[in-house]
Amino acid sequence: DIQMTQSPSSLSASVGDRVTITCRASHSIRDHLNWYQWKLGAGPKLLIHAANNLQSGVPSRFSGSGSGTDFTLSISSLQPEDFATYYCQQSYTTPYTFGQGTKLDIK
Partner 1 sequence: QVQLQESGPGLVKPSETLSLTCTVSGDSISRYHWSWIRQAAGKGLEWIGRIYTSGTAHYNPSLSSRVSMSVDTSKNQLSLKLRSVTAADTAIYYCARYYDSVESNWLDPWGQGAQVTVS
List residues near partner 1 by CB under 8 A. 31-32, 34, 36, 41-46, 49-50, 55, 87, 89, 91, 94-101
The CB-of-47 to partner 1 minimum distance in angstroms stands at 10
Q: Which phi and psi (to 5°) does residue 57 adopt?
A: 90, -10
The CB-of-16 to partner 1 minimum distance in angstroms stands at 28
CB nearer partner 1, residue 17 or residue 63 = 63
- What is the rounded CA–CA span in Å between residue 104 and residue 49? 20
CB nearer partner 1, residue 82 or residue 90 = 90
- What is the rounded CA–CA span in Å between residue 59 and residue 29? 26
The CB-of-59 to partner 1 minimum distance in angstroms stands at 16
CB nearer partner 1, residue 36 or residue 62 = 36
Strands, E assignment, the chain: 4-7, 10-13, 19-25, 33-38, 45-49, 53-54, 62-67, 70-75, 85-90, 97-98, 102-106
The CB-of-15 to partner 1 minimum distance in angstroms stands at 26
For residues 67 and 27, the answer to whether their CB atoms sit within 8 Å is no
CB nearer partner 1, residue 82 or residue 87 = 87
